[in-house]
Chain A
Amino acid sequence: MRKIKQRFQNLAIKYLQLPQDVLLELPRITLIGHIHAYIENHRGLLVYSDTELRLKTNKGAIQILGDSFVLKTMLPEEIILEGTISDIKFIPE
């Protein structure tokens, strides 16, 4: 069943030209240089401190490292992070 859904999604992406992040429920990260990160489609906040932000995603987690982090906005599925970003890492499950 799941496989069928996956295939259907893949087909939809291919033929309907839909953005991948919407259908596959993957996080979308928008960066503005190294000062601003805009993360959508996350699944929850795991760790947040001055120097580290870790978010749960559909498959694994995202780790952002840097300095003087401030969460400018926090909504159920999106986070805007400000600070000096030095590292973005995907940690698979």
Chain B
Amino acid sequence: MRINQGKSFHGQVRIKISGRLPERFLQELLEANIPLWDIQKVSNTSCEASIYLRDLQKVRHVKRKSEYSIKLLHGSGLPFRFRNILRKKPMILAVIISFFIILFLANIIWEVKIEGVSTEIEKKIHKQLTTYGIYPGASLWKLDDTAEIQHDLMHDIPELLWVGVEKNGTALHFEAVEKRVAEEKEIEGPRNLVAKKSGVITKTFVANGQPIVHVDDFVEKGDVLVSGKIESFDKNISKGNIDEEENTKKYKQIEAEGEIRAKTWYEIDVTIPLDATYETLSGEQTNRHYLKFGSFQLPVWGFKEPKFDSLHYEHDTKDFHLFKWELPWKYVHSTIHEKTYEEIKRTKEEAREVGIKQAKQDLQLELGPDAQILTEKVLHESIENGKVKLTIYITVDEDITKYESIGQSD
């Protein structure tokens, strides 16, 4: 009965054997170890039987030595079915084409998503990305490494403080942080340079204008550092009226330009707790997907209970739109993060160090990379309710110039 196995898998052929006493030939086939089934005598001189497709060669071999003739009637089973499919050219063509279409579609960018910045910057990033060849519909083949895109973007768009690029299959996600550039107001026309802070001048560099202060001078906030009013040396006037020149000095008003660096000082209060608990995400997360109808949430995917001790939920709700109408159901993707608590215990000295470091960092961030922190000194230190309070005195070398239009100051 084992003959039944694999009949359709290997394929079977029905053959017709003709000749005198066809059963003799059947016997010969048996001796050649060829299994046969469904043998039927059609007439005295002919006989029908089924054999495996793979035995067909052997049958032909046996036939060559005998006087019988063999006719193939029909075949069935997988090999024949397969051959039939192969015979249907349009279908094969369709399969190949669809394969290529899938391949093609899987290799173009479908979505470029930018998060975390204002619409203006977002547009700018989009525009910049388009010049890199990154836009919906562009090929993924030519795409650079994400680190490289990140680097290029940071370089080409100075407003960005940081850009994270993540490639999710055919979607590119950009997460950007905008630099808050505290741009100084450029004043057109005649202007002075005035001090925006009090300090002791350490360096002067005047490109345009009349310097009024010198190194080691002390200046108050608002003092004029470089004047935009300079004496005019008009030769025509000086030649003609030498006497008059003494009485009425000719002034010319220009745009003062330069850099005056001064030593400034800051008093900063910081409070550092001795014991601190921080919440951090461990990075472990599970995802849940819901369909939301009104207030009812139908879980669609993600049923595993997270084995986290403490959880942090993040919900991302997407609306469905059909043309301009909002459909009544929403898709909610919630991410459950594992939250871990970290406790930090500091000694007084450590807290003090952290405080100084923090104060310096904050100040540097406020003043910009141009400022240089020279010295710091702890003026006052006290412990209250498990917190260290510090008053730190910091001296900084920085550019203190500010533009001020002459008309205004006068």
Interface residues of A (CB under 8 A from B): 44-50, 69-76
A75 adjacent to B39 (CB under 8 Å): no
A-B residue pairs, 4 tightest by C-beta: A71-B39, A48-B23, A74-B36, A73-B37
Say whether B374 faces chain A, with CB atoms less than 8 Å apart. no
A54 and B297 CA atoms in complex are apart in Å by 77
Say whether B33 faces chain A, with CB atoms less than 8 Å apart. yes
Q: Which residue of B lies closest to A68 (CB)?
A: B40
Majority secondary structure, B binding face = mixed
Q: Could you say which residues of chain B place their CB within 8 Å of the CB of A69?
A: 41
A84 and B39 CA atoms in complex are apart in Å by 15
Quick one: which of B18-43 are within 8 Å of A by CB? 23, 26-27, 30-31, 33, 35-41
Say whether B1 faces chain A, with CB atoms less than 8 Å apart. yes
Q: Could you say which residues of chain B place their CB within 8 Å of the CB of A71?
A: 36-40, 49
A71 and B40 CA atoms in complex are apart in Å by 7
Q: Which residue of B lies closest to A47 (CB)?
A: B23
A72-B37, A72-B38 known; A45 vs B44 contact (CB < 8 Å): no
A45 and B3 CA atoms in complex are apart in Å by 19
Per-residue CB contact flags for chain B residues 41-55 toward chain A (1 = under 8 Å, else 0) read 100100101000000
B20 to chain A, nearest CB (A): 13
Q: Could you say which residues of chain A place their CB within 8 Å of the CB of B39?
A: 48, 70-71, 74
A44 and B30 CA atoms in complex are apart in Å by 8
A48-B41, A49-B44, A69-B41 known; A74 vs B23 contact (CB < 8 Å): no
Given A44-B27, A76-B33, 9 new contacts (CB under 8 A): A46-B23, A49-B41, A50-B41, A70-B38, A71-B38, A71-B49, A74-B37, A75-B3, A75-B35
A45 adjacent to B38 (CB under 8 Å): no
Most chain A CB within 10 A, of B26, B36, B41, B44, is at: B41
